[in-house]
A = this chain, B = another copy of it.
Amino acid sequence: MAELSRVTGVPVATIKYYLREGLLPRGEVTTSPNQARYGEEHVRRLALVRSLVEVGGLSIASVRAVLAAVDDPAVPLHHTLGLTIDAADAPTPAVDDPPHTAAAERIDAIIAERGWRLSPDPIARRAAIDVLATMQRVTADRLTGIAEVYAEAVERVAEADLDTVTAVEDRPTRVETALVGTVLGERLLAALRRLAQEHVSAQRFPPPPETPCPSPSAQDPSRP
């Protein structure tokens, strides 16, 4: 285990935690009672778990559920990918107030218009409805119309995502690629969107030339 920690850079305490939580298979038992043999698959699984938890922000329970599907060859690939996709999102309870009903109509109209064929009530649909209802509550109709533009943009993104998955032949690697792509891709998409926003904002609202741009690295959001 000390060796596994050295190779991967993951602290021994963290490895023990992942073992206890069932996120990492136990090492092969050796003749010495205090030793176990860890191989290439442990190194790889450890890198995957760590990226999902530390960079992706997934809960231990979500990672466990996803890995169970990854490791079960009987689960059809599309369903495994679905689990993978859903894991990034905690299920949102269905809410029945008028803003949610209106938001649900909007989202379902977008799904129908784009011809998306989906399972009956995907977790992501409810998440989208919840966000749209909150936007409506806070900004009235000011954010109307962005959902349609977003839907068009993510269709191209999803095609690229699935291209990366399709390019891989072997099933575990394929599912791993989908998982990392979905969870980390979300972060990448968000970061690039903020860069694009800064660019477009500077075009629309040019800062006065006499005011030097504060260095964003000095903008500490935790300052009082």
A-to-B contact residues, CB < 8 Å: 47-48, 51, 55, 59, 61-62, 64-66, 76-79, 81-83, 85-91, 110-111, 114-125, 127-128, 130-132, 134-135, 137-139, 142-143, 145-147, 149-162, 164-168, 173, 176-177, 180-182, 184-208, 211, 213-217, 219-224
A147 vs chain B, min Cβ distance (A): 6
| B164 lies within 8 A of A201 (CB) | no
| A122 lies within 8 A of B154 (CB) | no
Contacts of A211 in B (CB 8 A): 76, 79
| B198 lies within 8 A of A85 (CB) | yes
Pick 27 A–B contacts, CB within 8 A, sort by A: A51-B134, A55-B134, A61-B221, A65-B223, A76-B205, A79-B207, A79-B211, A79-B214, A82-B213, A89-B190, A91-B217, A118-B195, A118-B199, A123-B219, A139-B180, A143-B184, A146-B181, A146-B185, A147-B192, A150-B185, A150-B188, A151-B196, A158-B193, A158-B197, A158-B200, A161-B197, A189-B190
Contacts of A159 in B (CB 8 A): 200
Q: Across chains A and B, which 10 residue pairs bring their CB atoms closest together, nearest first?
A: A158-B196, A124-B194, A128-B191, A116-B199, A149-B160, A127-B191, A154-B193, A65-B221, A61-B222, A62-B221
State how many copies of this chain the complex holds. Answer: 2
| A192 lies within 8 A of B121 (CB) | no
| B55 lies within 8 A of A189 (CB) | no
**Residue of A62, A177, A184, A224 with highest tally of chain B CB at under 10 A:** A184
| B157 lies within 8 A of A221 (CB) | no
A134 vs chain B, min Cβ distance (A): 5
| B51 lies within 8 A of A157 (CB) | no
Instruction: Determine the distance from Cα of A137 to Cα of B50 in the docked complex, in whole angstroms.
Output: 11
